[in-house]
């Protein structure tokens, strides 16, 4: 029973490039959450998606960041025109039900470095 998969594990981008982070939820889970961990900070919520729908994107920066979770395939977090401040660890989690009374299962994270 594979857990939550994220790739790549490490990603280096130069300023102005695009970063694409992928997350495959656990089998049977249709709810995906993205979190960001900045250096010396805790996990911060970014976006919550269900298949083909964005449920809550209140934690997403208004510009350059977007997320999707298509009917087929992984969830994608996309950062356009990256800046140094985007350097962080990005974690995705999945759950089997809606709402925060279900356990969230986390992936290993993608560490993005912007040079």
Residues pairing with 89 in the sheet: 37, 111
Q: For another protein, which stretch binds (CB under 8 A), given 13-21, 24-32, 71-79, 104-112? A: 104-112
Q: For another protein, which stretch binds (CB under 8 A), given 23-31, 55-63, 69-77, 80-88? A: 55-63
How far is it, in rounded angstroms, from Cα 86 to Cα 81? 10
CB 106 within 8 A of CB 24: no
Question: Widest CA span of the chain, in angstroms?
Answer: 39
Q: Which two tokens stand for residue 8?
A: 């790549």
Q: Is the CB of 24 or the CB of 82 nearer to another protein?
A: 24
Residue 40 CB, nearest distance to another protein (Å)?
A: 9
Q: Is the CB of 38 or the CB of 83 nearer to another protein?
A: 38
For tokens 């809606």, name the residue. Answer: 98
Counting contacts by CB under 8 A, is residue 10 touching another protein? no
């Amino acid at each position: 029973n594979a857990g939550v998969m994220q790739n790549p594990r490490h990603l280096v981008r130069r300023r102005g490039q695009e970063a694409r982070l992928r997350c495959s939820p656990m089998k049977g889970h249709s709810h995906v959450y993205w979190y960001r961990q900045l250096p010396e900070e805790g996990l911060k919520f970014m976006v919550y998606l269900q298949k083909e729908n964005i449920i809550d994107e209140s934690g997403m920066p208004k510009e350059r960041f977007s997320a999707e979770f298509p009917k087929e395939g992984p969830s994608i977090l996309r950062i356009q025109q990256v800046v140094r401040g985007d350097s962080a660890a990005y974690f995705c989690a999945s759950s089997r039900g809606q709402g925060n009374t279900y356990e969230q299962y986390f992936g290993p994270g993608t560490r993005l470095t912007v040079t």
